[in-house]
Amino acid sequence: MNSKFVLVLIASAIAVLAGCSSAPKKEEPTPVAAVAPSPAPTPIPTTPPAESAVAKVTVPDHLDPNSAIRRENSVFFEFDKFSISSKDVAIVDRHAKYLLAHPSLIIKIEGNADERGGREYNLALGQKRADAVKQALKLSGVKDSQMESVSFGKEKPVALGHDEAAWAQNRRADIVYPTN
């Protein structure tokens, strides 16, 4: 073979090989597109459930501290008296209606007296006051079996003063409902 031909062949082979082998290219980092923050999800509007769908816990009036039955449960008396005054008739009537509507309730009527007078006298006066309220409730239709009357005399004062204002608060009969 001709030496020229061999040289051309070798030069061609080197050229081909040189074209195939190239220095590794430096890779440019791929540009990252600026990512805009995604908008906050739109809240789903909530509407309160219909009134009938909400389970309401109903507290009986005699257990509800905001009810008139619970707040106004004392009948007050004049000194040495056991008759219900005209201003307290509405309280007795309210309790009578409530007891008629709730025949399973059993109440206690607690008679009280102020500190003046002897122990036995005040126990007897407290009993007469409790019995007067019981009788008024009975006349309104409340059954005897729903009521019990007791006397505490001067032993359960609500006011501890020694003046007419304190004594007036202690001359009373309290209508007491069960706490359960």
Predicted local distance difference test score (pLDDT) of residue 39 = 63
Q: Kindly report, residue by residue over 84-94, the tens digit of the pLDDT.
A: 999 999 999 99
pLDDT at 19 over 70: no
Helix axes of 89-101 and 119-139: crossing angle, nearest 10 degrees: 60
CATH for 57-176 is: 3.30.1330.60
- DSSP-based three-state secondary structure for 177: coil
Alpha-carbon distance 13 to 19, whole Å? 10
Domain range annotation of the chain = 57-176
Q: Kindly report, residue by residue over 95-126, the tens digit of the pLDDT.
A: 999 999 999 999 999 999 999 999 999 999 99
Q: What's the pTM value of the predicted model, to 2 decimals?
A: 0.68
